[in-house]
Chains A and B, each alone.
Chain A
Amino acid sequence: MSALVQYLITGISQGFLLALLATGFVVIYRVTKVVNFAQGAFVVFGGFITYSLLGAGVPQGVSEVLAVLASAAIGLVFGAVTILGKMTPTASLITTIGLAILSEAVAMLVWGTVPLTFSGLSGHDLHIAGIFVQPQYLLLIGASIVVLLVLWLVLERTYVGKGMTACASNPYAARLSGINVKAMGLLSFAIGGALGGVGGVLITPLFPITYDSDVNLAILGFAAAIVGWLTNPGLALAGGLAFGVSEELVAGYWSDANQTAVALALMIVLLLWQSHRRQQVEKLV
């Protein structure tokens, strides 16, 4: 029983990480129609930059915030490279692939190949449902919820947020209304970067990351985003949690090595089901 609770808590935390990633995918895709392959890199940068700042003596708390801002800035740069100028969708996609590789190279260069971590929320382990849980887990879950909630409010309730939705649903009309669609695209990339950065900052104390952590994260984050058809953040959140928990359960009850394969197989099944649904919808249109 306690093992199950353990897996669930780990799974839910991983799930929120994936949800942050997935939301990043969704925000970027909605506005720019680009799938950002480099989404996982923001997690890596968020974690590594925090590590370096802490190492340089910047206080706990400040480092994390700075790291998130830095990730947002990196996102902005990635966005500029990806969508500014005349780029076809294919070219943009491949560009984000290139950016992901570049991120790995830079990460390897600056931080080396050894997994890095830093201490997160200090304090005694909490006693929950029969097991001891590090407070960092709760921070991860709590902070993720807050961040996602704030983001949702911004997108749904603020003028700029609605402007982004407008760009997402009808870029032509948005342009006619005077909205700078490219600028909105850059903003979405910055948001994606920030979301990834938050994820990195929160997860690294629990699970050390390396320069190539981005690939697995990107794939699973994408899988979660797919649950939301790449456009629905709520479903993406659900997808993230589902993938996070199932991964942990597979790792716990079956085998560590299989967890990725199972998750990926799940994703493919999901894609298949979704395409079936879409075809049905298209028949009605």
Chain B
Amino acid sequence: MVLSPAASGPPAGDGTGEHTPLLSVDRLVVRYGAAVALDDVSLEVGRGEMVALIGANGAGKTTLLNTLSGIITASSGAISCRGRLAHVPEGRELFPDLCVDDNLRLGAWKAASRDPADVYELFPKLRDLARRRAGYLSGGEQQMVAIGRALMAKPDLLAIDELSQGLAPNVVQEIGRYLVRLNADAGLSVLLVEQNARLALELCSRAYVLETGRIAAEGPSSHLKEQPAVQRAYLGGHVAT
């Protein structure tokens, strides 16, 4: 399998000209021993797009993201990313004993500048919390730090795993708005990986549905919302686990 080096490609696309997606995953297969976690998965994220990947627990969403970030090696298939990818992990995964400011700065390990000013501008609440130990923050605040940390790497694509996990709905909405703004103003592409299909389809223009390692459905969010199968499984009131 091939992971293209994360060279920064041409500036954010303007939609005209050739369609070269920022991220393209082609027939990805990932195995754990004899079990197959991802089976022939293909998807794309274009420049400036917000794309959702919906799936229940165990569908393979985290596996996919871990493969994208290089933590897991795929058995076959290809991944090609024409830009930098930053992965916001499920459950935030901060450095609990370090303060917010340190957490942010560490996100810039491979970046040119360690200055978190931009992140503080995006999430003004974090300014007051800069010296607070990350372990002591609320869920929403932690999520902002996690996203901020990922943004410090100056990525072209932000992949977020389970944004809504453990967060109150209003907090999720607020963070969602931040993401939309980032996408609109800075052209940041977003891959939103979610159990919460309603949220994902609301924020993103296009979506894939992942079921037990396979892409079960894909298309514009508006279409997917109408599909009865999707409605039953993900939007119909019972929580898919």
A and B touch in the complex (CB under 8 A): yes
Tell me if A207 is interfacial: C-beta within 8 Å of chain B.
no
Q: Judge whether A177 and B89 touch: CB under 8 Å.
A: no
Which residues of B are at the interface with A, using a C-beta cutoff of 8 A? 69, 71, 86-87, 89, 93-98, 102, 105-107, 109-110, 114, 149-150, 153
The reply to whether A173 and B71 contact each other, CB–CB distance below 8 Å, is no
Residue of B nearest to A231 (CB): B97
Q: Contact check: which of B87, B97, B98, B114 meets A176 at CB < 8 Å? A: B87
A174 to B105, CA, bound (A): 12
User: Chain A: residues with CB nearer than 8 A to chain B?
Assistant: 159, 162-163, 165-166, 169-170, 172-179
Query: Given the complex, which residues of B lie within 8 Å of A172, measured CB to CB?
Result: 71, 89, 93
Contact across chains for B109 and A163 when beta carbons are under 8 A apart: yes
Distance in angstroms from B191 CB to nearest chain A CB is 14
Please indicate the chain A residues that have their CB under 8 angstroms from the CB of B93 in the complex. 170, 172-173, 176
Is the pair B106, A166 in contact by a Cβ cutoff of 8 Å? yes
18 contacts across the A-B interface (CB closer than 8 A): A159-B105, A159-B114, A162-B106, A163-B109, A165-B97, A165-B98, A166-B98, A170-B96, A172-B89, A173-B89, A175-B69, A176-B69, A176-B87, A176-B93, A177-B106, A177-B110, A178-B110, A178-B153
**Interfacial chain A residues near B105, Cβ < 8 Å:** 159, 162
Closest to B86 in A: A176
A146 to B209, CA, bound (A): 59
**CB contact between A173 and one of B94, B97, B102 (< 8 Å): that residue:** B94
Bound Cα distance A166, B109 (Å):
11
Q: In the docked arrangement, what's the CA distance between A179 and B106, Å? A: 8
Name A179's contact: one of B97, B98, B109, B114 (CB within 8 Å): B109
Q: Is the CB of A177 within 8 A of B94?
A: no
Cβ A178 vs Cβ B97 within 8 A? no
Contacts of A165 in B (CB 8 A): 95, 97-98
B71 touches A177 (CB 8 A): no
For the complex, give the distance between the alpha carbons of A240 and B49 in Å.
58
Q: How far is the CB of A233 from chain B (nearest CB, A)?
A: 13
Whole-angstrom CA separation of A24 from B7 in the bound complex: 39
**A170: B residues at CB distance < 8 A:** 93-96
The distance in angstroms between the C-alpha atoms of A179 and B95, with both chains bound, is: 13
B residues near A179, Cβ cutoff 8 Å: 106, 109
Asked if A166 and B69 make an inter-chain contact with CB atoms under 8 angstroms apart, the answer reads no
Task: Note all chain B residues with C-beta closer than 8 A to A176.
Answer: 69, 71, 86-87, 89, 93, 150
CB distance from B223 to the nearest CB of A (A): 33
B95 neighbours in A (Cβ, 8 Å): 165-166, 169-170, 173-174
Which residues of B have CB within 8 Å of A177?
Answer: 106-107, 109-110, 149, 153
Residues A175 and B109 in contact in the complex (CB < 8 Å), given A159-B114, A169-B97: no
Which residues of chain B have C-beta atoms less than 8 A from A173's C-beta? Answer: 89, 93-95
* A175 & B71 in contact (Cβ 8 Å cutoff): yes
A71 CB to nearest B CB, Å? 28
Contact B98 A162 (CB under 8 A): yes
Q: How far is the CA of A178 from the CA of B70 in the complex (A)?
A: 10
Min C-beta distance of A168 to chain B, whole Å: 9
8 further A-B pairs in the complex, CB-CB below 8 A; given A162-B105, A177-B153: A169-B98, A170-B93, A170-B96, A172-B71, A172-B89, A176-B89, A176-B150, A177-B107
B97 — nearest CB in chain A belongs to which residue?
A: A169
A238 CB → nearest B CB, Å: 20
Docked CA distance A163–B110 (Å): 12
With contacts A173-B89, A177-B153 taken as known, whether A163 is within 8 angstroms of B106 at the C-beta atoms is yes
Chain A contacts for B86, CB-based, 8 A = 176
Expressed in whole angstroms, the minimum distance between the Cβ of A100 and any Cβ of chain B is: 31
Rounded to whole angstroms, the CA-CA distance of A159 and B105 in the bound complex is 8
Q: Are A178 and B94 in contact (CB under 8 A)?
A: no
> A114 to chain B: closest CB distance in Å?
47
List the 7 closest A-B pairs by CB distance, nearest first.
A178-B110, A173-B93, A178-B109, A166-B95, A176-B87, A179-B109, A169-B95
Residue of A nearest to B153 (CB): A178
B153 proximity list for chain A (CB < 8 A): 177-178
B116 to chain A, nearest CB (A): 13
Distance in Å: Cβ of A228 to nearest Cβ of chain B: 15
Question: Which residues of chain A are near B110, meaning CB under 8 Å?
Answer: 177-178
A275 to chain B, nearest CB (A): 23
B111 to chain A, nearest CB (A): 8
Residues of B contacting A162 in the complex (Cβ-Cβ under 8 angstroms): 98, 102, 105-106
In angstroms, how far is the closest chain B Cβ from the Cβ of A185?
Answer: 16
Q: How far is the CA of A178 from the CA of B86 in the complex (A)?
A: 9
Chain B nearest CB, measured from A50 CB (Å): 37
- Which residues of A have CB within 8 Å of B94? 170, 173
A165 to B99, CA, bound (A): 12
Taking CB atoms, residues of chain A closer than 8 Å to B109 are 163, 177-179
